[in-house]
């Protein structure tokens, strides 16, 4: 394994034959800002005090970047890799991370299907603040639309939540179909224990209120659909299901557009199609759901 220690804010020499392009102009995607502007993966210098990183090449020639920093609550962070032509690459969504005393250490791994270590020229470290998430999401949504990819929109409370999605059985659904209904989006995975713990409560609520106008749309994040299908049959889930693609590029777009990375996640729409609740467990929104159900359409 070939390893370089990157100490942002210090200059450390490990490699004798390659110089950094410290002044290269790399633009962020909308909403994101550089904490560490892209630098050559080789020394002589990396700049940004308080952020430490290690760039590695694994035995298969995959790029791995491990970064240590002090995160701010509500801010998302990511490593970006660039090839010689300036094309940008995101790491896989699988990340190993630990934290202690306000310090975070996270390992970002890049898929060989996207870029190999020997093709990487620069690596940077970005941050996305809470107030800019909708900007980044809209940019990703525009790219998805151009590619014909259907994605769950970015949730913004008390705003209209238009969607067009295709269920696992090939049926196209959109917000117009659910006009006058209260709609719960249940974002889940069979491999998510809190998700499965919520499921009986969600099912009981559906049985109680469906005749009065409650509909549920499941959004499944399992890479392996067979696991999800088994859970659906076992728990007798009768509502439509959307499956987030397992393919890495498509899954990355889903994450960027929807902003949904942690599970469970539940979104609640009123009868007019406005987002009225966004939470990380069903219990957090159950009271709001019952209030909406008791209101006339």
How do the domains of the chain map onto residue ranges? 2-128, 151-294
CA angle 94, 96, 100 (to 5 degrees): 145
- Mean pLDDT of successive 10-residue stretches along the chain, which has 297 residues: 43 32 66 90 59 88 91 89 91 69 89 89 91 85 88 94 96 95 97 95 97 97 94 96 88 88 93 96 96 83
Report the pLDDT value the prediction gives residue 53, as an integer from 0 to 100: 87
CATH fourth-level superfamily of 151-294: Glutaredoxin (3.40.30.10)
Give the DSSP per-residue string, 80-147: EEEETT--EEPPPS-EEEEEETTEEEEEEE--TTT--GGGEEEEEEEEE-GGGHHHHHHHHHHHHHHT
CB neighbours of residue 263 within 10 Å: 20
Exposed, middle or buried: residue 292 (CB in 10 Å: 0-12, 13-18, 19+)? buried
Report the pLDDT value the prediction gives residue 4, as an integer from 0 to 100: 44
Report the pLDDT value the prediction gives residue 295, as an integer from 0 to 100: 84
Contact 292, 214 (CB under 8 A): no
Which uninterrupted H or E stretch holds 46? strand 46-57
Report the pLDDT value the prediction gives residue 181, as an integer from 0 to 100: 97
CA 245 – CA 197 distance, rounded (Å): 24
Report the pLDDT value the prediction gives residue 269, as an integer from 0 to 100: 98
Question: SS3 for 256?
Answer: helix
Report the pLDDT value the prediction gives residue 19, as an integer from 0 to 100: 33
* Closest residue by Cα to residue 188 from 260, 288, 95: 260
Phi, psi for residue 138 in degrees, rounded to 5: -65, -40
CA 266 – CA 283 distance, rounded (Å): 10
CA distances from 157 to 117, 135, 141, 163, 215 (A): 41, 15, 18, 15, 19
């Amino acid at each position: 394994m070939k390893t370089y220690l990157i100490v942002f804010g210090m200059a450390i020499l490990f490699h004798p034959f390659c110089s950094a392009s410290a002044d290269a102009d790399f633009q962020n995607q909308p909403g994101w800002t550089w904490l560490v502007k892209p630098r050559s993966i080789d020394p002589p210098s990396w700049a940004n005090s308080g952020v430490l990183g290690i760039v590695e090449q694994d035995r298969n020639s995959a790029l791995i970047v491990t970064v240590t920093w002090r995160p701010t609550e509500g801010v998302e962070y990511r490593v970006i890799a660039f090839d010689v032509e300036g094309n940008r690459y995101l790491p896989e969504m699988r990340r190993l991370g630990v934290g202690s005393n306000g310090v975070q250490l996270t390992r970002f791994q890049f898929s060989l299907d996207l870029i190999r270590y020997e093709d990487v020229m620069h690596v940077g470290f970005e941050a996305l603040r809470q107030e800019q998430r909708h900007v980044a999401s809209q940019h990703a949504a525009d790219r998805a639309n151009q590619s014909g990819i259907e994605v769950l929109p970015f949730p913004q409370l008390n705003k209209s939540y238009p969607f067009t999605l295709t269920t696992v059985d090939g049926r196209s659904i959109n917000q117009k179909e659910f006009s006058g209904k209260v709609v719960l989006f249940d974002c889940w995975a069979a491999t998510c224990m809190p998700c499965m713990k919520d499921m009986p409560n969600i099912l009981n609520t559906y049985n109680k209120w469906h005749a009065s106008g409650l509909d549920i749309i499941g959004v499944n994040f399992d890479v392996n659909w067979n696991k999800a299908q088994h859970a659906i049959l076992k728990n007798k889930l009768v509502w439509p299901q959307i499956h987030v693609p397992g393919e890495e590029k498509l899954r990355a777009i889903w994450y960027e557009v929807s902003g949904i990375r942690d599970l469970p996640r539940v979104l609640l729409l009123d009868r007019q199609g406005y987002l009225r609740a966004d939470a990380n467990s069903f219990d957090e929104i159950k009271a709001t759901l019952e209030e909406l159900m008791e209101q006339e359409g």
